[in-house]
């Protein structure tokens, strides 16, 4: 497989229009393979999430942490939407269970929060935020993360909250060897820039289909799956985490962008390099300090949407031709 990086013509135009602006929410619904019957749902879901995030951003005006509230609103919507591999709709482990990961970072003080390998958690984004705001730690895992959530009253737990017929079918297909399980990763995420120019990046995932219990991907790992600071900007990774982690993908993307190439070219370069070296499906979204927006993927599909104050929402499922 040697797929080229994708950023459709309409996507590029939309991204270019977002340059040098403030008050925006950029959302993705995962780099991977979207089943045909879910493609429309993926586009609608990412657009809805971007709209919800922007509405929250506008509602909060120039209040502190408007960007945090905006990404939570967007990612909550994606987690609650069964079309995506996060929250309700998450994929199963090799034991047919659910273990989810999420990570958040805000630029104004570089605070981060993440949770990993948490069983049967429907809204991992909320628990990651609680780790950032209500603990002295940056990453909590497994039972400890669940106990923290229960102590804080954050997070809804229960297999029935995550289970979907889609996930059950994919698990059965993987177990019987009917479908390859490679490159069946995706993730959801959102980056917001608020009116103060602060950035926040948040990703959430069910991980990769048929993963070993206890496996953790890039999504809850700072620098690999998510990053935001006031100097470099913000980025999120999606796709097969093992391929992204070795490159510390998000930090590497932003470091390259800041060296002069910009976030779009840096995202394209990094996707191509990772895909060339590993063959894995990967993707990134990024927002530079100046509000420049970038998106690239090397995968069959990636859904995304951009909502910016004063502009119509744009979004698409970009496809490997």
Residue numbers in the known binding site are 215-218, 238-241
Nearer to ligand GLY, 77 or 93 (CB): 93
Closest approach, Cβ 127 to ligand GLY, in A, equals: 16
Closest approach, Cβ 185 to ligand GLY, in A, equals: 5
Q: Which residues of 117-135 are buried (b: 16+ CB within 10 A; e: fewer)?
A: bbbbbbbbbbbbbbbbeee
Q: Where are the alpha helices (DSSP H) in the chain?
A: 9-17, 39-60, 66-79, 124-134, 142-152, 159-162, 165-176, 241-245, 249-256, 262-278
- What H or E segment, with its residue span, contains residue 282? strand 282-287
CB-side exposure of 87: number of CA atoms within 13 Å?
A: 24
**112 given a catalytic annotation:** no
Residue 219 touches ligand GLY, criterion: CB under 6 A: yes
Q: How far apart are CA 253 and CA 264, in angstroms?
A: 9
Which residue of 23, 241, 249, 315 would you call a contact of ligand GLY, by CB under 6 A?
241
Q: Annotated catalytic residue: which of 5, 33, 112, 187?
A: 187
Residue 5 touches ligand GLY, criterion: CB under 6 A: no
Nearer to ligand GLY, 239 or 288 (CB): 239
Residues placed in the known binding site for substrate:
215-218, 238-241
Span of 19-27, 33-41, 192-200, 236-244 interacting with ligand GLY by CB under 6 A: 236-244
Nearer to ligand GLY, 51 or 102 (CB): 102
CA angle 206, 143, 161 (to 5 degrees): 45
Closest approach, Cβ 198 to ligand GLY, in A, equals: 25
The catalytic site residues sit at 187
């Amino acid at each position: 497989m040697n797929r080229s990086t994708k950023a459709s013509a309409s996507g590029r135009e939309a991204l270019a229009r977002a340059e040098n602006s403030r008050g925006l929410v950029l959302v993705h619904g995962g780099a991977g393979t979207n089943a045909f019957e879910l493609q429309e749902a993926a586009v609608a879901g990412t657009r809805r999430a971007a709209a919800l995030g922007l509405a929250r951003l506008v509602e909060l005006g120039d209040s502190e942490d408007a960007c945090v509230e905006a990404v939570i609103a967007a990612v909550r919507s994606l987690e609650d939407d069964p079309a995506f591999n996060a929250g309700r709709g998450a994929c199963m482990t090799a034991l047919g269970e659910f273990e989810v990961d999420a990570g958040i970072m805000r630029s104004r003080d570089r605070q981060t929060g993440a949770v990993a390998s948490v069983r049967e958690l429907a809204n991992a984004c909320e628990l990651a935020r609680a780790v950032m705001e209500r603990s002295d730690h940056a990453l909590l895992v497994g039972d400890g993360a669940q106990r923290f959530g229960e102590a804080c009253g954050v997070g809804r737990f229960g297999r029935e909250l995550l289970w979907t017929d889609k996930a059950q079918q994919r698990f059965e297909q993987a177990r019987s060897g009917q479908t390859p399980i490679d490159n069946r990763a995706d993730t959801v995420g959102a980056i917001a820039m608020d009116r103060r120019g602060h950035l926040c990046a948040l990703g959430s995932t069910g991980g990769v289909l048929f993963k070993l219990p206890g496996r953790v991907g890039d999504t809850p790992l700072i620098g690999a799956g998510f990053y935001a600071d006031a100097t470099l900007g913000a980025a999120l990774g999606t796709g097969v985490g093992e391929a992204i982690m070795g490159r510390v993908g998000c930090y590497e993307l932003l470091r390259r962008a800041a060296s002069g190439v910009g976030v779009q070219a840096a995202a394209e370069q990094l996707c191509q390099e990772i895909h060339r070296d590993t063959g894995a499906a990967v993707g990134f979204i990024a927002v530079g300090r100046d509000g420049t927006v970038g998106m690239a993927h090397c995968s069959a599909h990636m859904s995304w949407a951009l909502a910016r104050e004063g502009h119509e929402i744009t979004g698409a499922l970009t496809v490997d031709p």
